[in-house]
Amino acid sequence: MNEKDVLKYFLSTVISETEDLIDKIGDDFYEAAVSLIGDAEEEGKRVHITGIGKPGHVAGYIASLLSSTGTPAYELHGTEAVHGSSGQVMDGDVVIAISNSGETAELKATVSTLKSNGAKIIGVTGQKNSWLAENSDVFLFAGVVNEGDSLNRAPRASIIAEIIVLQGLSIMLQNKKNITPKQYIKWHPGGALGKLRQDEAK
């Protein structure tokens, strides 16, 4: 394919894959995840996000997003967790683990370690029958068929799917806690987002 066709294929793939995923997100899609996190927070427990490779970068963003919208969350390094960093996760904490395949060896080791230390796992993966899906307390589907290029290997559409699913979770948690603009800017005082808009100043 020429450059124009390559880009067109990628963009059309992202649109179709995203639409297919959104169609799978029903009214009760987040119910178990929201309940698990809510119960943990009521007991003074915390939320952590982890992933290997590119999903690890998603973990950092989602931890920041959740923290800024009423659910304090911490990024957990996917491979360092088996070298002592799992010590940041206490018995009863919730860990959101992200993996497209759900079979990544390093993440298996991390999740196994966390579970043995008493953590509850929310698995975010594109494979419903994967190891991660089957070894999670709650499973959130974030799957695609095509990544958007001829190799169909480099994570592109799958990363977008993971982000959409976890952004949706952040929306549900924020809504449940009735976060107000004034509360939000306490956590985000810098930049344009840290200022009340005219319609919010009342």
Adjacent-strand bridge partners of 123? 97, 139
Count of domains forming the chain: 1
The predicted structure's pLDDT at residue 192: 84
Helices 31-42 and 157-176, interaxial angle, to 10°? Answer: 50
Contact present, 149 and 135 (Cβ < 8 Å): no
Residue 141: count of CB within 10 angstroms of its CB: 17
The predicted structure's pLDDT at residue 201: 66
Sorted by sequence, the CB contacts under 8 Å of residue 179 that are 6+ apart come out as 69, 70
Report residue 73 as tokens: 């969350």
Sorted by sequence, the CB contacts under 8 Å of residue 111 that are 6+ apart come out as 95, 97, 121, 123, 132, 135, 136
Predicted TM-score (pTM) of this structure: 0.96
In the block, which residue shows the tokens 């973990």?
59
Q: Domain limits at 136? A: 3-200
Contact present, 124 and 140 (Cβ < 8 Å): yes
The residue ranges of the chain whose pLDDT is under 70 are 201-202
- Distances from the Cα of 157 to the Cα of 64, 152, 161, angstroms: 21, 10, 6
Q: Give the number of residues written for the chain.
A: 202
Residue 129: CATH number of its domain? 3.40.50.10490
